[in-house]
């Protein structure tokens, strides 16, 4: 835990760093990226931030995308963070960029309801919050990474509902109040204290988790993070040189990576990246640059793709800013990677197009026998959407064929509201299909697909945190039947051929909109002592239907009246 003395020294060091004069990067990041430095008058900064928020506050399915970047220094400014907005500090550690003011995410729906507060991010800066408490009322696809909050943080708005979120590599000097959050995952983070619980709170590699054990309070705690690579981040040095810092792989870790002010890893100069723009680039121009050995930085916007982006070179870094969105328009994949060491995909939204794609993101073309344990492929803050912003369809959203792949936060969503939404409109069979062995996932959110939300075929997989709503809209039971005598499709399916699998902290919910539709079981696994699940809950929301069992034939049924939320601590 960072002490007051350490923080004071960090701020003293920060004060000695000369302000950067440049307000644009040496390579053009385009009109959707704002870059601020401490020499700019606060009123000017505030005015530009307010213009972004005026568009993005209610812009749930709009086309605008924004990134707001701060070079190292001190700022006094209020930052509301709306849809498709990523706010980033450009320092080597969060304490190099210090914001004094009201940095906040507000509930996007009425009555303080944050269950649709999606697609926004705060990364790599410190905040002295107005009034001592920062409000971060969010649900899915809202990364909170490498942050230092010099006070408290609350994860809801005035006790209104919120539905799951992500925190990693962050330090909270005071208290974290999860309040009405249904589920939450915190990985490699530190705080003075934590209050709040609801259905399932998961702590991985957290040195000071709250007291108590599942199921009352519903805390799932894993002391060490077995293996992870933190998400790459953009940084700038005092001379104005931009680079992307790629953190090192770590094993059996606990707490934040930047106690010594820097995160172990390597810096890749921005000159080694091709900087793509949505109004200029397509899959052909991007693939040509990747073939030349460039890494890829996608500036904010929507990229219509007539063919798949192909990432073939080992150690290629593909990174999006401001929720850069890949939109296949001809029924192809949006991106396909080779089965190669060290490929990193970070900060992208994959949005299905009107012609059905067989897959949106494919990691490795075939199930491989190659081991990547020394330098795994990793995915960070990759999000998927089928429908909502318009017509969209995909068979599989994310398919992982490469062994030892690490997924570090994903939300894979078939839309339940918005445009182009309906049982026969935004079709999608599976959110995630895993064929590779030894795949590990932290923060797995998968919702509303029409068959298995997750189908895990590879051996020795591990999942830390799972949140899922099964589809709202099956029109009747015959349309939602996976096998004779089995109603519906289990949310989380481990294939019968799998010999080894383990998962911790799972919540699966139903919100059926049509009568006489039920789900036989939320989780379906082979009978094996090496297929183990821990800390599971099922909940029926709304007034129709039920989930009859939590896992296989164990756990019992959900109920609306009286409210019954079955829990299973260990299986088998």
- Set out the domains of the chain in order of their start, with CATH numbers: 4-229 (no CATH), 270-571 (2.160.20.10)
Own/partner pairs, 208-212, CB within 8 angstroms, 24+ separation: 208/1
Query: What is the SS3 string spanning 157-188?
Result: CCCCCECCCEEECCEEEEEEECCCECEEEEEC
Task: Name the helix (H) or strand (E) containing 291.
Answer: helix 283-291
Alpha helices in 176-225 (DSSP H): none
Read off the pLDDT of residues 336-386 as tens digits, 9 standing for 90 and up.
Answer: 999 999 999 999 999 999 999 999 999 998 878 999 999 999 999 999 999
Q: Any idea what the Cα angle at residue 300 is, between residues 247 and 98, rounded to 5°?
A: 55
pLDDT score for 8? 34
| 404 annotated active-site | no
The one catalytic residue in 86, 123, 447, 469 is 469
Contacts of 432 (CB under 8 A, 6+ apart): 396, 397, 398, 399, 400, 410, 412, 444, 446, 453, 454, 455
| Sign (positive or negative) of CA dihedral 427, 430, 431, 433 | negative
Ranges assigned E (strand) in 188-224: 190-195, 200-204, 219-222
Q: Are strands 273-276 and 295-298 parallel, antiparallel or unpaired?
A: parallel
Q: How far is the C-alpha of 310 from the C-alpha of 288, rounded, in Å?
A: 10
pLDDT score for 6? 36
pLDDT score for 559? 86
Q: How far is the C-alpha of 245 from the C-alpha of 231, rounded, in Å?
A: 9
Q: Any idea what the Cα angle at residue 197 is, between residues 193 and 203, rounded to 5°?
A: 60
- Judged on CB neighbours under 10 Å (0-12, 13-18, 19+), 315 is middle
Residues of the chain falling short of pLDDT 50: 1-24
- Judged on CB neighbours under 10 Å (0-12, 13-18, 19+), 7 is middle
- Which DSSP string do the residues of 354-412 spell out, in sequence order? SSPEEEEEEESSS------TTS--EEEEEEEEESBBS---EEEEEEE-STT-EEEEEEE
Residue 54: how many other CB atoms lie within 10 Å: 12
Q: How far is the C-alpha of 531 from the C-alpha of 466, rounded, in Å?
A: 16
Whether the CB-CB separation of 517 and 545 falls below 8 Å is answered with yes
Please choose, from the candidates 295, 339, 342, 301, the residue with its C-alpha nearest in 3D space to the C-alpha of residue 319: 295
Read off the pLDDT of residues 461-499 as tens digits, 9 standing for 90 and up.
Answer: 999 999 999 999 999 999 999 999 999 999 999 999 999
Virtual torsion, Cα 14, 20, 24, 28, nearest 10 deg: -80
Q: How far is the C-alpha of 397 from the C-alpha of 380, rounded, in Å?
A: 15
Taking 3-state DSSP, the helix, strand and coil percentages for the chain, each rounded to the nearest 5, stand at 10, 40, 50
End-to-end CA distance of the chain: 37
pLDDT score for 561? 82
């Amino acid at each position: 835990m960072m002490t007051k003395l350490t923080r004071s020294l960090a701020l003293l060091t920060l004060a000695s760093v000369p302000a950067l004069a440049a307000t644009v990067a040496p390579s053009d990041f385009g009109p959707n990226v704002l870059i601020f430095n401490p020499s700019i008058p606060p009123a000017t900064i505030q005015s530009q931030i307010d213009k972004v928020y005026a568009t993005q506050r209610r812009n749930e399915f709009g086309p605008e995308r924004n990134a707001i970047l701060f070079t190292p220094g001190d700022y006094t400014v209020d930052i509301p963070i709306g849809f498709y907005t990523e706010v980033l500090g450009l320092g080597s550690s969060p304490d190099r960029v210090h914001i004094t003011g009201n940095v906040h995410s507000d509930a996007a729906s009425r009555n303080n309801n944050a269950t649709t507060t999606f697609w926004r991010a705060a990364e790599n800066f410190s905040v002295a919050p107005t009034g001592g408490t920062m409000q971060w009322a969010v649900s899915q696809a809202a990364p909170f990474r490498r942050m230092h909050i010099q006070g408290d943080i609350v994860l809801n708005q005035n006790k209104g509902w919120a539905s799951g979120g992500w925190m990693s590599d962050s330090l909270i000097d005071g208290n974290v109040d999860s309040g009405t959050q249904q589920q939450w995952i915190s990985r490699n983070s530190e705080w003075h204290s934590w209050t709040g619980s609801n259905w399932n709170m998961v702590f991985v590699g957290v040195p000071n988790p709250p007291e108590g054990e599942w199921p009352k309070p519903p805390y799932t705690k894993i002391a060490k993070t077995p293996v992870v690579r933190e998400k790459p981040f953009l940084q700038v040095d005092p001379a104005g040189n931009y680079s992307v810092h790629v953190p090192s792989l770590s094993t059996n870790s606990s707490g934040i990576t930047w106690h010594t002010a820097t995160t172990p890893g390597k810096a890749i100069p921005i000159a080694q990246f091709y900087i793509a723009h949505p109004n200029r680039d397509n899959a052909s121009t991007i693939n040509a640059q990747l073939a030349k050995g460039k890494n890829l930085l996608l500036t904010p916007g929507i990229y219509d793709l007539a063919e798949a982006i192909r990432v073939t070179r080992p150690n290629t870094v593909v990174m999006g800013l401001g929720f850069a969105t890949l939109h296949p328009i001809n029924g192809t994949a949006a991106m396909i990677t080779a089965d190669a060491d060290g490929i990193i995909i970070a900060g992208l939204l994959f949005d299905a197009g009107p012609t059905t794609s067989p897959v949106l993101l494919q990691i490795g073309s075939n199930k491989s026998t190659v081991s990547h344990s020394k330098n795994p492929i990793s995915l960070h803050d990759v999000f998927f959407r089928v429908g909502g912003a318009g017509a969209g369809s995909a068979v599989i959203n994310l398919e992982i064929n490469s062994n030892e792949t690490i997924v570090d936060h994903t939300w894979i969503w078939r839309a339940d509201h918005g445009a182009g939404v309906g049982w026969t409109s935004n079709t999608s069979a599976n959110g995630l299909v895993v064929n590779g062995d030894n795949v590990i996932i932290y923060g797995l959110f998968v919702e509303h697909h029409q068959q298995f939300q997750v189908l895990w075929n590879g051996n020795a997989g591990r999942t830390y945190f799972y949140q899922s709503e099964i589809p709202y809209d099956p029109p009747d039971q015959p349309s939602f039947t996976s096998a004779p005598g089995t109603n519906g499709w289990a949310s989380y399916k481990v294939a019968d051929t799998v010999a080894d699998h383990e998962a911790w902290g799972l919540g699966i919910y139903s919100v059926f909109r049509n009568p006489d539709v039920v789900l036989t079981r939320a989780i379906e696994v082979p009978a094996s002592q090496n297929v183990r699940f821990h800390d599971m809950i099922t909940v029926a929301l709304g007034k129709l239907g039920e989930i009859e069992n939590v896992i296989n034939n164990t756990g019992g049924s959900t109920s609306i009246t009286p409210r019954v939320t079955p829990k299973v601590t260990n299986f088998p």
